[in-house]
């Protein structure tokens, strides 16, 4: 799955928390988010719409981040499903600093081959 296909898949499954997502879908969308949020922060700085007090982002960044938060959560949960884990593991990222690292490691792992309890393998599709 390429960059454009991954981004379009994530937006077409905007709030779909069921099913599975390949590593490429997850990581291409993560790269897309990074680029878009960096551009939004740059626009905020360029147009002087930052919130001030040393905060490097403002309204543009906030709106873009709010648009991207749901598909980001959805693709992460689908990625966890691909590794055979429940989407509830995503909440581990909020428990402590090490929790986010554990979820990140899960996202690096290869998916379970063949179908699992969350659906057919996305590699076969």
Tens of pLDDT, residues 30-66: 999 999 999 999 998 888 888 878 787 899 999 999 9
**Chain segment 54-106, per-residue pLDDT in tens:** 787 899 999 999 999 999 999 999 999 999 999 999 999 888 889 999 999 99
Cα-based distances in Å from 93 to 5, 61, 102, 114 = 27, 22, 8, 27
For the entire predicted model, the pTM comes to 0.89
- Contact (Cβ atoms closer than 8 angstroms) between residue 102 and residue 92: yes
The sign of the torsion formed by the CA atoms of 4, 10, 14, 19 equals positive
Q: Is the pLDDT of residue 124 over 80?
A: no
d(CA 27, CA 38): 16
Assign 50 to helix, strand or coil. strand
């Amino acid at each position: 799955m390429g960059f454009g296909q991954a981004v379009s898949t994530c937006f077409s499954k905007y709030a779909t928390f069921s099913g599975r997502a390949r590593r490429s879908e997850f990581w291409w969308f993560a790269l897309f988010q990074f680029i878009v949020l960096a551009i939004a922060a740059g626009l905020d700085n360029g147009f002087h719409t930052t919130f001030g007090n040393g905060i490097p982002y403002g309204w543009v960044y906030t709106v873009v981040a709010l648009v991207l938060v749901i598909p980001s959560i959805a693709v992460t949960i689908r990625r966890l499903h691909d590794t055979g884990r429940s989407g509830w593991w995503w909440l581990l990222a909020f428990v402590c600093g090490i929790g986010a690292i554990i979820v990140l490691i899960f996202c690096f792992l290869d998916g379970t081959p063949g179908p699992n309890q969350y659906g057919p393998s996305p590699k076969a599709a």
